Amino acid sequence: MVLPAPPGYPDWMADIFDVIADPTRREVLAVLLERYTAADSDSGDISVGEIVERLGLSQPTVSKHLKVLRDHGLVHVREERQLRYYSLDAGPLEEVEDWLIPFLSADFDDSGFDAQGDDARSLTVFSAWSGSDLGATVGRAAADSSHRVRALLQDASRRVPWRKRS
């Protein structure tokens, strides 16, 4: 059962959460991510047959889940003769990440001090006053925050028990 989205909640968000709620689709995404980040992969794509072999699932099951992922923009498909190759498109997940960041960062120390004890807000103001590139300073702060959030997400995903299908 899918509950109606609360007011102001983007419709696509409910759809994407429904898509990634399925453990088999998460396993397929994990295989695609592994291929995407593999050093020996030029294109980052993988055949349906390889996904079937890696997950130990039937070809119709894998194809059904790949269709859902494709319909929601999480994968790209490339056809070559009679074969289909899939690759990850993390764009929709980045939108979910952007939506999650305020919730995940709510527990960060609100004092404005980073791990080294520097006052980040004062550093930004000083950078602007001193004529240094404010964009680079703010960009670095954003990148550092994004890195911390990604690390928290990775840590959380390691703690969540992933159910393997047999």
DSSP string, 26-53: HHHHHHHHHHHH-TT-SS--EEHHHHHH
DSSP state of 9: -
Residue where a domain stops, chosen among 57, 88, 119 = 88
What the block records as the tokens of 46 is 């993988």
The beta strand positions in the chain, using DSSP E, are 46-47, 75-80, 83-88
Total domains in the chain come to 2
Q: What is the pLDDT of residues 101-146, one digit of tens each?
A: 888 887 665 544 444 444 554 554 444 444 445 445 555 566 666 6
- Rounded CA separation 88/91 (Å): 9
Do 61 and 129 fall within a single domain? no
Angle CA 74–36–53, to nearest 5 = 85
Do 78 and 143 have their domain in common? no
| Model confidence at 47: pLDDT above 60 | yes
124 shares a domain with 71? no
Whole domain around residue 121: which residue ranges?
108-159
CA 25, 69, 8: angle at the middle one, nearest 5?
A: 100
Distance CA 100, CA 78 (A): 31
pLDDT tens, residue by residue, 12-24 = 555 888 898 899 9
pTM of the model: 0.57
